[in-house]
Amino acid sequence: MLIASLLPLLSRYSLGFDLAAGPDETVTLTIIPRKAEGAKHALGTDEARPISITASAAEIDAELARGEEGALGQLIATRKALADQLAEQRASAEAAKTSAAAKAKPAPSPAKSAAAAAPPPASTPPADAKPGEPASLW
């Protein structure tokens, strides 16, 4: 039942486990989320926080048997929802960054490009210019 309860986390993380015996026949089960192989982003501090359950072995087994209705199942569902929100926010931030970079590039203005493409206007000769002779600058 443990593995079935953890399937939602396994789809996103690699998991480590630690079992420790405590006083009065209690057991502490610690589930440690790690970055999954091939994951695109590093885990945030909240995502990598271990999940720890301390109870008798029978109580832990009973809680895990409740599946999604149990405390561990609800905690996993909450973490999965938060991780999905983080992924959406990362995607939105990346899209906004790309959009801002595209808007920051100066676009060629139509007036400048039209002026550059048009030939220079022909200059009119001075009124006292004689045909066949160069115009005087004086």
Write the pLDDT tens digit of every residue in 80-127: 788 788 888 988 999 999 888 888 877 666 655 555 666 666 667 667
pLDDT of residue 64: 79
33: its two tokens: 């989320």
**Total domains in the fold of the chain:** 1
- Could you give the CA distance from residue 75 to residue 52 in angstroms, rounded to a whole number? 11
Q: Is residue 83 part of a domain?
A: yes
82: domain range? 2-103
pLDDT at 40: 74
pLDDT (0 to 100) of residue 137: 62
Give CA–CA dist 28/31, Å, rounded.
10
In a domain, residue 134? The reply is: no
Which structure tokens are listed for 10?
């396994």
Q: What is the pLDDT of residue 5?
A: 73
Q: Is residue 19 part of a domain?
A: yes
Q: State the pTM of this model.
A: 0.52
- pLDDT of 122 reads 63
Asked if residue 31 belongs to a domain, the reply is yes
Note whether 63 and 55 are within 8 A (CB).
yes
Structural domain contains residue 127: no
Cβ(36)–Cβ(16) below 8 Å: no
pLDDT in tens, 8-56: 777 777 888 899 999 889 999 998 888 878 777 677 776 778 888 899 9
- Domain presence at residue 108: no
The C-alpha atoms of residue 134 and residue 14 are separated, in whole angstroms, by 86
- Half-sphere CA count of 42, side-chain side, radius 13 A: 2
Place of tokens 């992924």: 87
Residue 128 falls within a domain, yes or no?
A: no
Provide the pLDDT for residue 93.
Answer: 92
